[in-house]
Structure 1
Amino acid sequence: MLNLDNADADGDADELETPPTLPQPPAQPEEESLRLLAEQSKRPEDVAIQPPYTAPLAPYDMELLQRVGLKGKLVAEGSVWGAGEGKRRLREASGAEAASRFVELERSGIAGKASHLPSESLSLHERRTRFAESSSSTLKLPDTAGQVPNGKGSQHRSTSLNQSTPLLPMTEATLVASNYDDRECSCPREFYQRAELNTSLFFEDCTRSIDFVLAHTINAHEPTEAENAEKRRVFQENLVQQGLEVELSQKDQIYFVKIHAPLEVLRRYAEILKLRMPMKEIPGLSVVNRSTKSVYSSLKTVCQFFMRNIYVDEQYFPRRAHRFTAIYSRDKEYLFDIRQDCFFTTAVRSRIVEFILDRQRFPAKRHSDMAFGIERLVAEGVYCAAYPLHDGEINEKGTIRELLYTNWASVKKWYRYQPLDDIKEYFGVKIGLYFAWLGYYTYMLLLASIVGVACFLYSWISLKNYVPVKDICLRSNSNITMCPLCDWCEFWNLKETCNYAKITYLIDNPSTVFFAVFMSFWATLFLELWKRYSAEITHRWDLTGFDVHEEHPRPQYLARLEHIEPTRTDYVTNMKEPTVPFWRMKLPATVFSFSVVVLLIALAFVALVAVVVHRMSMLAALKVDGSGMTTSKAIVLAAASAAFVNLCLLYVLNYLYNHLAEYLTELEMWRTQTQFDDSLTLKIYLLQFVNYYASIFYIAFFKGKFVGHPGEYITVFKYRQEECSSGGCLTELCIQLAIIMIGKQAFNTILEVYLPMFWRKVLAIQVGLSRLFGNAVKPDKTKDERWMRDFKLLDWGARSLFPEYLEMVLQYGFVTIFVAAFPLAPFFALLNNILEMRLDAKKLLTHHKRPVSQRVRDIGVWYRILDCIGKLSVITNGFIIAFTSDMIPRLVYRSLKSPDGTLNGYLDFTLSEFRISDSSKLQSLAGDFSNITTCKYTDYREPPTSPEKYHLTSMYYIILACRLGFVVVFENFVALVMILVRWCIPDMSVELRDQIRREVYITNEIIIDQEAQRARFERAKRNYSVVQNPSEQDVDAASVDEPNTKFIQIEKLLTANLSQIEMDSILHGENSTTGISGADC
């Protein structure tokens, strides 16, 4: 087959050698030649094996067809050896035959090579026949493709256009057996290796890979079995009509439908999905690749030598060279190495098959717009599962799954960077981005943890010099009688709070302000650096030009609008499409959804009130049971008990929120899956935000702030409001944060380890496979086919990543919003995430079926949520420092009251006095304190001897003004720092931006040059067919440039004489307005 792209016009035309003209058989249509080829490759015993290749066969597919023909030769022997041995010998036989023929060609010398090469004079049928006889396994064109050796050495070849054979299209490539290079057959060699490792990854012919599996059972006693069987029959027939190939197998009363996507289907749907695929490797682009690698290396510090044990081990995960990509188009297929077996990876193949499965219809009793899609069939029990296959077991050497399990999912590798490129290749972009974000967030927590631990150590060291703690714990006169904290509480001594005062100082100390400012700066830095890091990942994974608006509509969306006439013209495509009626469907669904969300938020507040009531009742019960527990201990115990109750309510409400939010989002009729996921994510997070943070906001900003004073307490429904414990509200806030955050993380970790094991056992029992977990001898798993072993794994749903993101984002809220009350939150988050990252990886590789690859541009709405949390944290931390902690009163005392600028006497400054005789209720609670006349309470009020007794003092208003002023200064200072950080850190580095621009430019140059080559070729064909002038033909053929070496310099004719419209027509095909095409230029 002729490839004029590889002809070099720089050689001397006098030295060119014209290949001999061979007799030409009659011209035959393309389909007829394919049919003859298939018939020639068959043997009589192979009639049953007929792969329905309907498209022009790529060389690799032709080789597979040749191998299919060899199967009949070994059928009898295979029946003796067994299925596995027969398949192995089949592969060895076909590989040995190809190798022997190649060696024979090498030994035959120049004449042998020349005689074996397909000539320009041969017809399409004869060339393909010769290729089928040669069984060459070369998938990439050699560097010397299109050259014929002669007596003077290897010289350039010219094609004479005065031959009687019509020229072949440029997409036909010549496969040359000379100058053999090991790298040229890397793809088929990997194919044979995979087949050798696990034959159950392929159909029974050992050639067609299994891209997807559907599983179902047959129960004749079920009344719906006949209906389900009809649905399966129609559904599978529709799959075959789409070009997919199916094969049936049975194992343990479970029936498996194995699906293979032929090359033509992959090509068609890759164009429909606008997938970006790698272009051919072109010599001369090494500078571009080196520049790309430099961007990757710029993330590493100068300490790379010392950190070589932390980076990804390139022994197992070699660095992938960056390749140019372009949106796949069958019209420009000459730009891509489509002959490679690895061109359509397993992730891409499964994604294309799932796209087809989601849009095929099946019969229903009543006509339903929603009677389509594999997801609906699985939900109705027609199929048990639908999944792509893992490439092997986790202990099966040579598989990607084993490599990731050993070197990524192992907790022993916690200190190493993640192999993100390999994760993306195996699981897809969406899961790869999650682990990239989780890893980056974890590494950023390292800095926050170091600063948080340093602040905690400072508070621990300086505790012994803190004067108020000394006054409470060491002063001889510190036995101050305090007023009761509740209606059932007794009087208590201030000295009882010695330990709580120490704990409060560990949280509320001068380093708290610094740490709060630092964490606000850290949150901004984290998001800005993530955008920068994400930009490089996006470029590395060919997502730079990905537009979410190009995403295909959801099948559920199209089904509900099936009977609606097109009412809107799309601005981009200029095509009419159905639109959701605003007044009849969109507005009612939105109002209803909003109303239910508000109702659920109100339900979360009701749960908060229930927790408060529980705390008050618990406190009363502890005081009346006669145990003699002190008031301070009773309050702390009641607070801890309420925190556990709140944690239990969280998990109960979570279940309700998730199901309702999904139902409400479905009613809103979002067009694309990305819009649907973003809306669902926002709803659930709002509900979870209220659910998790309501009690914390209550303690931080409301509890103990509006209680009044002894003798005149402010009541709600005749009940006195709660007061903070003797250690202050900040201590309670820290306890609440620690229990919810650490308890939630520990509980989720336990669930992630043991829950998948539990559900796998339940699944095995449901399908009658409980013997695998019983006391009996376990069956040999090596006898199970790959699809059977994967069937026993848990499903990985389309939204299985949502709880993982939600858990981390809620943790991010604890780390940033309330960090002033819990400085060790980043440290505990770091410890959890180091374990979480590896457990998520292990869970995904061990317990779940392989997910279908999904393409996304970024982490979606989660980034906007993180940004909002970062801004909210500035406000909350400012108010916690100003109103919940005692930092502002201490500063005011040092500045206005203290004679020596110290905190000596600060304890008396914060306490007010109350005469017990002024309240009959307090007199009844005196008990053992009947001999006292006054008690102290924390507030700034006038003493009972003052004319304005119990009124707020002027110092209260001074402190309030200082608190408000601090909030204003803090917010503006941090906001200014955040603005400066965002201004100093661009979203994309200069090197990466220049690199992207250069790659776009070179890609366009390649396309333009290839289109120019194609235009000259078509013009040469027309001239030959009309004029048949040999001299002109030779000139046209010799003028064809070698695109591999001259792709950047375009001829002056293209740059000087073509308009922009004509240039666009060359790039994008036919122009409907001017009628100009690339062939006309």
Structure 2
Amino acid sequence: MTRPLSHQKLQSDLVLEQCWISNLDSLWMQINCEMYSSESPGPDYSGPKEVPDKNKANGLYFRDGKCRIDYILVYRKSNPQTEKREVFERNIRAEGLQMEKESSLTNSDIIFVKLHAPWEVLGKYAELMNVRMPFRRKIYYLHRRYKFMNRIEKQISRFRGWLPRKPMKLDKETLPDLEENDCYTAPFSQQRIHHFIIHNKDTFFNNATRSRIVHHILQRVKYEEGKNKIGLNRLLSNGSYEAAFPLHEGSYRSKNSIRTHGAENHRHLLYECWASWGVWYKYQPLDLVRRYFGEKIGLYFAWLGWYTGMLFPAAFIGLFVFLYGVTTLNHCQVSKEVCQATDIIMCPICDKYCPFMRLSDSCVYAKVTHLFDNGATVFFAVFMAVWATVFLEFWKRRRAVIAYDWDLIDWEEEEEEIRPQFEAKYSKKERMNPISGKPEPYQAFADKCSRLIVSASGIFFMICVVIAAVFGIVIYRVVTVSTFAAFKWALIRNNSQVATTGTAVCINFCIIMLLNVLYEKVALFLTNLEQPRTESEWENSFTLKMFLFQFVNLNSSTFYIAFFLGRFTGHPGAYLRLINRWRLEECHPSGCLIDLCMQMGIIMVLKQTWNNFMELGYPLIQNWWTRRKLRQEYGTQRKTSFPQWEKDYNLQPMNAYGLFDEYLEMILQFGFTTIFVAAFPLAPLLALLNNIIEIRLDAYKFVTQWRRPLASRAKDIGIWYGILEGIGILSVITNAFVIAVTSDFIPRLVYAYKYGPCAGQGEAGQKCMVGYVNASLSVFLVSDFENRSEPTSNGSEFSGSPLKYCRYRDYRDPPHSPVPYGYTLQFWHVLAARLAFIIVFEHLVFCIKHLISYLIPDLPKDLRDRMRREKYLIQEMMYEAELERLQKERKERKKNGKSYHNEWP
């Protein structure tokens, strides 16, 4: 694992000379640092080595078998953009890149342009791009965390009898090149090239770095005269080229066992130890993932693995809460009273067609509600708020370790490249960069503000579209509940409200998926309109827009059910109506929590199923269809002889927005797992099961179904971390409101301490809940119904005569009181208790979150000690190097016959 050298030590040429000077007689050069290629193994690699005679046949080299292919461009001869391509390719050769063309074996109209960067070009652009390379061995320093992991492994070994072989552990014999030497690194410099450790110029820059350098060149090559006519991206967008990608390193399958014959290549190694379903229970080889796909993709899988591991305790506690509800179901006084309330007749829940019903008919729903709304719900909500904070704080520590191990500590934004689009748009306006001291294009403040205002207006408009869609769903619910109540089938007629909720959720999901397509195009347009300066700024802006769109789109209906459904319906005889026509929907007699659970469960399962199909199923079908056509036309043996560029071209390209879809899926899942977890404790368990599959699905997709993505550098997960923090704060607020408003926790608590048989005794057991159901229902005189609300059934089927009174959920005075249907004192007590609970819950949980954030340092102590020790060793190395330089200079002066003492001041 390479290690960064502090930037403060590289401020002057003198310090650079001190750090990079060779010390052949000292300890530092006695322990020689073997340069490890991120994708091309060093001399100590024990795996199979490429045979030069096979270079021509494996599709990774030019026809001469010596020049490795660093990048592939694909176009069609029938494409009319010939002139642009010719200018572009002529300028590519002018930059020093070597080029070779091949016709496709399956379609003569398709031309593959193979590009190779020679040593001179690589060295030139590596220096311009500040590519860090190893130059000095470092002293090994043991991590305390490794000692801790060894103790864990010893405990696990005791249970090796029933666990799979080497559970949660990497097979070191399968991964021979995961053992990487520790080296100091510094930005590559051609003037000081002799200080870097170069065993072979062909493998000094690994394949990922070579492809990144070539891509950097292609992004700045002109295809027409004029500064704004540059870049490969524009040629891809206007159809001049069909595709551009680096090559995979060969097949991911092998006829021979990896344990007996070793890995054929790094892709094969990744498939066997990471993408294979047989290793689902083992740790991910993140170092190998990083070396093959780059730091950005490596950080995604590191974060996904960390998130999945942290879901284990959350899923266990959530399952415990659910099982607690199951075990206490028979002892729940509220559900008992509901099931035994055969004499309590409830008012209809919709106009005309909905009949009167016994409260005991909702016995099943009352029991299901208790499974999620019980005494452990509050504890679980507090736990999940704390869990979200612990997850984020420990991820910061984990990220710091990864950034250190992957040589990302000193990688800052100022090393990023300016987007070619920004460079072309503002090429006429330049100013001095205060960091580099070089002139660069800049965007005027007024221009930037005007573009941001237009973009914000677009975001606001799209959010209004989401609200309009939710309003449409509300109208559907209030209209169809009466339709289902008049349905011919008794099953649907008797469960009209459940049928309404279920169909509304499915329709809502379809609307969500359709609007997501529109949001993507709008977000892309608005982001390009803003003209971000760098790629990271573009990604952050696009990410924020898409997250806002999809978060509101996905959760707006859930918020409606949780906080608005049944809250503003009025009461029998004075219902509130939508557009003065449709009666607003009421909650089920057992409460609204069952509707919220259905909404979350259906959306979560459908969303994850659809995402998994689109991520893996769709590429599998497309690749299968391509292979099928090739077999029909050329046969199986001819297909196996296709060169690598032909095989990769037939794979699916990676998403145009990189890892955006993968992150967005997991972040939205994180929101479902935390924001409404008080209403659905099984959400963490569903998320855990999905993520265990998701890791292997993504790994399989990256290794086998997608073309190899361009390796990119990143030091963290970017704006996603800020979004996670925002979700964590929002989850505290929403869970407080769910417990206080949506569930019956507070009304039950008020009844137990104030109005129940144990009032004033300080008890709150099940015996104190006797009579709660009757106390939570108000009485309505049937003759007070409005004409348009009066049910067609008069309730005579219950008592043999027309029904005189019915009950409904609310705290209101009876019809013959001095103030008919006015709020009772219990209503105000419950309202005050709800507000007090929200305030106390939020302040308590936020205090705990801030305390945890303060107590957990962002940097682990062992990492901090290691960095301090390296700083000390660097100072020692610099001192020894300077001393050696003076001694060497003195010997040379004496050798030349000059007087050292006369010239030395």
Question: Shorter-chain-normalised TM-score: which range?
Answer: 0.7 to 0.9
Q: Which amino acid aligns with 2:292?
A: Y
Higher Cα Rg, which structure? 1
Q: How does 1:296-375 map to 2 (within 5 A)?
A: 296-298=146-148, 302-304=152-154, 306=156, 308-317=166-175, 318-340=178-200, 341-363=202-224, 369-375=227-233
Deviation at 1:669? Answer: 1.2
Determine the structure 1 residue equivalent to 2:242: 384
Distance 2:714 2:22 in 1: 35
Structure 2 CA distance for partners of 1:525 and 1:610, relative to 1, 3 Å: same
Residues 324 and 999 in structure 1, CA contact (< 8 A), matched pair in contact too: no
Q: Work out whether 1:459 is the aligned partner of 2:321.
A: no
Larger deviation, residues 250-259 vs 808-817: 250-259
- Return closer, same or farther for 1:194/1:858 CA change in 2, 3 Å cut-off: farther
In structure 2, C-alpha distance between the alignment counterparts of 1:194 and 1:840, rounded to whole Å? 34
2:119 is matched with which residue: 263, 285, 290? 263
Instruction: Give 2:258's aligned residue.
Output: none
Q: Which residue number in structure 1 is paired with residue 651 of structure 2?
A: 793
Residues 1:551 and 2:416 are matched in the alignment = yes
Q: Which residue of 2 aligns with 1:751?
A: 614
Q: Could you list the per-position Cα deviations for residues 600-657 of structure 1 after superposition, in whole angstroms to 9, with x for gaps in the alignment? A: 0000011111111222232222123343457661000110000000000111011111
Quote the residue 2:68 is aligned against: 209
Pairing of 1:704-723 with structure 2 (within 5 A): 704-718=566-580, 719-723=582-586
Query: Where do 1:512-527 residues align within 5 Å?
Result: 512-527=377-392
- Cα distance, 1:782–1:1010 mapped onto 2, change above 3 Å: farther
Question: Is residue 589–residue 667 contact of structure 1 (8 Å, CA) maintained in 2?
Answer: yes
Tell me the distance in 1 between the aligned counterparts of 2:273 and 2:586. 53
Residue in 1 that maps onto 2:9: none
Q: Which residue of 2 aligns with 1:579?
A: 442
Q: Which residue type is aligned with residue 943 of structure 1?
A: P
Could you list the per-position Cα deviations for residues 526-573 of structure 1 after superposition, in whole angstroms to 9, with x for gaps in the alignment? 000110111100100000111112212111110101222x2x433223
Q: Is the 8 A contact 2:286 2:302 kept in 1?
A: yes
Aligned partner of 1:865 in structure 2 is 723
- C-alpha distance 897-775 of structure 1, shift in aligned 2 (>3 A): farther
The alpha carbon displacement at 1:1018 in A equals: 6.5
Deviation at 1:279, TM superposition (A): 1.9
Residue 134 of structure 2 aligns with an amino acid whose one-letter code is: P
Q: Contact 1:484–1:492 (CA<8 Å) still a contact in 2?
A: yes
Tell me, yes or no, if the aligned pair for 1:471 and 1:478 is still in contact at 8 Å.
Answer: no
1:886 aligns with 2:744: yes
Q: What is the deviation of 1:899?
A: 1.8
Q: Cα offset for 1:191?
A: 5.8
Distance change in 2, residues 1:932/1:574 (3 Å): same
- Distance in 1 of aligned mates of 2:53 and 2:620: 30
CA-CA distance at 1:1011 after TM superposition: 6.1
Residue type matched to 1:323 in 2?
Answer: C
How far did residue 305 of structure 1 move?
5.0
Separation of aligned partners in 1, 2:831 and 2:757: 22
Tell which deviates more after alignment, 330-339 or 1001-1010.
Answer: 1001-1010
- Equivalent in the alignment of 1:698: 560
Pick one of 589, 597, 601 that aligns with 2:459.
Answer: 597
* Unmatched runs of 5 consecutive residues or more in structure 1: 11-139, 146-182, 1037-1078
**Offset at 1:734?**
0.3
Counterparts of residues 320-719 of structure 1 (less than 5 Å): 320-340=180-200, 341-363=202-224, 369-396=227-254, 397-473=263-339, 475=340, 478-488=342-352, 489-564=354-429, 566=430, 568-583=431-446, 585-628=447-490, 633-718=495-580, 719=582
2:75–2:242 contact (8 Å) kept in structure 1: yes
For residues 929-1008 of structure 1, the aligned pairs below 5 Å read: 929=796, 931-1003=802-874, 1005-1006=876-877
In structure 2, C-alpha distance between the alignment counterparts of 1:7 and 1:514, rounded to whole Å: 64
Task: Say if 1:390 and 1:401, in contact at 8 Å, map to a contact too.
Answer: yes
User: Structure 1 residues 189 and 440, CA, compared in 2 at 3 Å: closer, same or farther?
Assistant: closer
Distance change in 2, residues 1:499/1:555 (3 Å):
same
* Between 434-443 and 367-376, the greater mean CA deviation after superposition: 367-376
Name the CA shift for 1:1008/1:629 in 2 (closer, same or farther; >3 Å). same
Q: Is the 8 A contact 2:356 2:793 kept in 1?
A: yes
CA-based RMSD? 2.8
1:237-284 Cα shifts (integer Å, max 9, x gaps): 212221212222223223222111122222221221112222233xxx
Aligned to 1:737: 600
Measured in 2, the distance between the counterparts of 1:620 and 1:329 equals: 77
Tell me how far apart the structure 2 counterparts of residues 928 and 774 of structure 1 sit (CA, whole Å). Answer: 71
Task: Flag the 1:7–1:311 CA change in 2: closer, same or farther, 3 A.
Answer: closer
Cα distance in 2 for partners of 1:144, 1:836 equals 41
Q: CA deviation at 1:969?
A: 1.0
Instruction: Tell me, yes or no, if the aligned pair for 2:75 and 2:111 is still in contact at 8 Å.
Output: yes
TM-score (norm 1): 0.74
Change (3 A) 1:349 1:657: same
* Alpha-carbon displacement from aligned partner over 1:97-116 (angstroms, at most 9, x marks no partner): xxxxxxxxxxxxxxxxxxxx
Please say which of residues 313-322 and 545-554 is displaced more in the overlay. Answer: 313-322
1:995-1051 C-alpha deviation (Å, 9 max, x unpaired): 123224434554565466557656766776xxx318x69x99xxxxxxxxxxxxxxx
Q: Tell me, what secondary structure is at the counterpart of 1:470?
A: helix
Partner of 1:74: none
* Secondary structure of 2:351 counterpart: coil
Cα gap change, 1:996/1:748 in structure 2, threshold over 3 Å: closer, same or farther? same
Secondary structure of 1:330's aligned partner: coil
Q: How far 1:391 sits from its partner (Å)?
A: 0.8
Aligned residues with identical type, % of pairs = 39
Pair 188,202 (structure 1): closer, same or farther in 2 beyond 3 Å: farther
Deviations 1:450-486 (Å, cap 9, x if unpaired)? Answer: 111111111100000001111122x3x5331111112
Relative to structure 1, is the Cα distance of residues 383 and 664 closer, same or farther in structure 2, using a 3 angstrom cutoff?
Answer: same
C-alpha distance in 1 between matches for 2:414 and 2:652: 32
Q: Is the CA contact 2:351–2:790 (under 8 Å) kept in the aligned structure 1?
A: no
* Corresponding letter in the other structure for 1:306: I
Matched residue SS, 1:200: coil
Q: Distance in 1 between matches of 2:92 and 2:212?
A: 15
Structure 1 residues 876 and 483: CA distance shift in structure 2, 3 A: same
Provide the residue aligned with 1:247 in structure 2: 100
Give the equivalent residue in structure 2 for 1:816: 674
Query: What SS class does the counterpart of residue 678 from structure 2 fall into?
Result: helix
Stretches of structure 2 lacking an aligned partner (at least 5 in a row): 1-19, 34-40, 158-165, 255-262
Shift in Å, 1:500: 0.4
Q: Aligned pair in 2 of structure 1 residues 512, 203: CA closer, same or farther (>3 Å)?
A: same
State the match for 2:703 in structure 1: 845
Q: 1:610 to 1:1023 in 2, by over 3 A?
A: farther
Greater shift, 256-265 or 307-316, is seen at 307-316
Q: Is the 8 A contact 2:630 2:639 kept in 1?
A: no
* Partner SS state of residue 779, structure 2: strand
Tell me which amino acid in the other structure corresponds to 1:211: D
Aligned position for 1:927: 794
Q: Are the counterparts in 2 of residues 622 and 629 from structure 1 also a CA contact under 8 Å?
A: no
Distance 1:306 1:606 in 2: 55
Aligned length: 841
For normalisation by structure 2, the TM-score amounts to 0.88
Shift of 1:985: 1.0
Aligned partners of 1:837, 1:928: CA distance in 2, in Å? Answer: 57
Which secondary structure does the structure 1 equivalent of 2:838 belong to?
Answer: helix
